[in-house]
Structure 1
Amino acid sequence: MTALILAGVAATAATDDSNQSFLLRIANWLVELMEIIGPVGAGIAVALENLFPPIPSEAILPLAGIAAGRGLFPLWQALLWATIGSIVGAYALYWIGRALGRKRTRWVFERLPLVKVEDVDKTEAWFDKHGTKAVFFGRMLPIFRSLISIPAGITGMHQGKFLALTAAGSLIWNTIFIMAGFWLGDHWHIVEDISGLLQNVIIAVVALLVLAFIGWRVWSLNRAKKIARTGGEDGSAEVPDTEGK
Structure 2
Amino acid sequence: MSLDPTTWGWPFPATVAAFFVVVVLRAGGTYWAGRLVRRGADRGRVAALLARPGYRRAERWVDRWGAPAVTLSFLTVGVQTMVNLAAGVTRMSQWRYLPALAVGSLLWALIYAGVGFVGLSALRLLWDRSPWWAAGALVLLLALLTGFWWRQRRRTDPVPLPVSAQPRDQ
Query: TM bucket by the smaller chain?
Result: 0.5 to 0.7
2:35–2:88 Cα contact (<8 Å) kept: yes
Partner residue of 1:222?
Answer: none
- Structure 2 unpaired stretches of 5+: 125-136, 160-170
Q: Deviations over 1:167-214 (max 9, x none)?
A: 211221221221123234043888xx59957x938x739x938x69xx
Partner residue of 1:156?
Answer: 91
* Alignment coverage as a number of residue pairs: 139
Aligned pairs (5 A) from 1:43-82 = 63-64=4-5, 66-68=6-8, 71=9, 73-82=10-19
**Secondary structure of 1:148 counterpart:** helix
User: Which amino acid in the other structure matches residue 133 of structure 1?
Assistant: P
**Does 2:64 match 1:124?**
no
User: Which amino acid in the other structure matches residue 65 of structure 2?
Assistant: H
TM-score by length of 1: 0.44
User: Which amino acid in the other structure matches residue 95 of structure 1?
Assistant: W
Aligned pairs (5 A) from 1:8-157 = 31=2, 63-64=4-5, 66-68=6-8, 71=9, 73-101=10-38, 104=41, 107=46, 120=55, 123-157=58-92
Question: For the structure 1 residues 169 and 204, does the alpha-carbon distance in structure 2 shift closer, same or farther, using more than 3 Å as the test?
Answer: farther
1:109–1:120 Cα contact (<8 Å) kept: no
Partner residue of 1:187?
Answer: 123
**Secondary structure of 1:143 counterpart:** coil
- Structure 1 unpaired stretches of 5+: 1-29, 32-59, 111-116, 213-245
Question: For the structure 1 residues 109 and 145, does the alpha-carbon distance in structure 2 shift closer, same or farther, using more than 3 Å as the test?
Answer: farther
Higher relative contact order (CA 8 A, sep 6+): 2
User: Which amino acid in the other structure matches residue 132 of structure 1?
Assistant: A
CA distance in 2, matches of 1:164, 1:187: 35
Q: What is the root-mean-square deviation of aligned Cα atoms in Å?
A: 4.2
| CA positional deviation for 1:126 | 4.2
Q: % of aligned pairs identical?
A: 21
1:87–1:163 Cα contact (<8 Å) kept: no
